[in-house]
Amino acid sequence: MAVAAAGFLAASARLQSLVSTILAGYLALVTVTVGGVLVLSPLTDVNRGGLAVLEGVVLAGSVLLWLLRGRPRPPLAGAHAAARALLARPETLAFAAVVALLLVYELVLAVTVPPNNYDSLTYHLARVAAWLQHGGYYWIPNAPTDRLNEFQPLAEQQILFLFAATHSSVLYALPQYVAELAILVAVFGTARRLGFAAGASACAAFLLATFTLILAEATTAQNDLVAAAFPIVAACLLLGDSRLEAALAGAAVALGLGTKLTTALVLPVLAVLALLRGRRATLMAVAGALVAFAAIGMWGYVLNHDHTGKLLGHGGGRIENTTSPSWPGTGITALFLVYETMDRAVLSNLDVHVLAALGVLGPPRRPGSCCRSSRPSS
């Protein structure tokens, strides 16, 4: 029902682009699922029965809106032209076939392989299990790690919805996988709106789908792809023509902030895109962000402030990864951050040995000069 409701809501928006309609549907799906969890949590009624009643009401409302809007259909004219452009180039078509097989393989892994990585098991799924037992999203008492409470919850709230609605943990990776699909659509749409041809835009999305980190994250219960989806969705919508797209872009920003704080690092780029659209589009984006943040995105920060007195909580997962300006601590931290950005899967043994030698020959570490966490980051 949630998927159907999101589809009717996206169609009711009457956007002129199929890409924008798909992205609006993704935002609607996230809002419907997470909103259902938030509405039912104070009643501790996040279970199959409660969600069925609530989602039935949402579906009925979305169908009614669709009827009142004249039963609009998704715009397909531009999609047909783009499809013809892709079919005209055999190399692009072959690339699309490879990526399609890759996505099918990821989906098979996502629904057949149990979670087996550190972050998923130690706090992403652990917090979902606690919420499920409680009957809704809440502050977990006596949590063994601050991460169970203080990290923003939107991605895990989607998992909670799936667990409660299906009485199964099989779909634990679905939010990350669906977010990957949204990212690929948004990359294609952004490239098209920046002036690139359909084939080149599609190949940009196809290439991203083959990146090691994307492949590894798409079958986990983590939140990285969910978080990454919202900024690129916002960028694509900000490059659109309508005010509604600008408002949806603002909503995407708010959902990103409710998923992971690091999405704020992209805000300057999105602000420039909004300002280039003009004052009215910027105001619509700000309005969309404020409404979505108040309705969906702010509750993790509210709970943090209520239980710790700080919007970000005690800082678990953050303060241990910071360092005061010093030498050689600052330099070591900078080198470590650069190293973490590398895709080490493509490094040869020689490259790894050279980097290791540089690390050994680098400036000695002083106790406390580098605050590298002993735990993997989220």
d(CA 48, CA 167): 8
The pLDDT score that the predictor gives to residue 189 is: 94
Q: Angle 47-52-55 (CA atoms, 0-180°, nearest 5)?
A: 115
**Model confidence pLDDT, tens digit, residues 256-294:** 999 999 999 999 999 999 999 889 999 999 999 999 999
266: left (phi over 0), alpha (psi -120 to 50) or beta: alpha
Record the pTM: 0.83
Do 239 and 231 touch, CB atoms closer than 8 A?
no
Note the pLDDT of residue 89: 81
Per-residue pLDDT, 188: 94
In angstroms, the Cα distances linking 157 to 36, 91, 100, 153, 169 are 10, 40, 28, 6, 13
The mean pLDDT value for 161-174 works out to 93
- The H-or-E segment that residue 286 falls in is helix 279-292
Other beta carbons less than 10 A from residue 377's beta carbon: 13
- Give Cα 244 to chain centroid, integer Å: 21
Closest to 158 in 3D by CA, of 232, 233, 229: 229
Confidence of residue 343 (pLDDT cuts 50, 70, 90): low
Query: Which pLDDT score is estimated for 319?
Result: 57
Two tokens at 334? 């900078």
Query: Residue 35: which residues within 8 A CB-CB, separation 6 or more?
Result: 295, 296
Q: What are 360-378's pLDDT values in tens digits?
A: 666 555 444 444 444 444 4
What's the pLDDT score for residue 79?
A: 74
Q: d(Cα 361, Cα 353) in Å, to the nearest integer? A: 12
* 6: CB partners within 8 A, 6+ apart: 25, 26, 28, 29, 32, 62
Domains of the chain, by residue range, sit at 79-308, 320-361
Quickly state the pLDDT bin for 337 (edges 50, 70, 90).
confident
pLDDT of residue 299: 93
> Is the pLDDT assigned to residue 156 strictly greater than 50?
yes
How far is the C-alpha of 5 from the C-alpha of 60, rounded, in Å? 8
Per-residue pLDDT, averaged over 199-213, amounts to 91
Q: How high is the pLDDT of residue 197?
A: 87
The whole-number average pLDDT for the span 238-253 is 93
Q: What is the phi/psi pair of residue 140, to 5°? A: -75, 120
Least confident of 78-82, 188-192, 350-354: 78-82
Peptide bond into 325 cis (omega under 30): no
Mean pLDDT of the chain: 87
Query: What is the pLDDT, as a whole number, of residue 176?
Result: 96
Q: Is the pLDDT of residue 85 over 80?
A: no
Strand ranges (E), 141-229: none
pLDDT digits (tens, 9 = 90+) for 6-57: 999 999 999 988 999 999 999 999 999 999 999 999 999 999 999 999 999 9
What is the pLDDT at residue 317? 59
pLDDT at 57: 94
What is the reported pLDDT for 225? 96
The pLDDT value given to residue 312: 85
Tokens matching residue 1: 């029902």
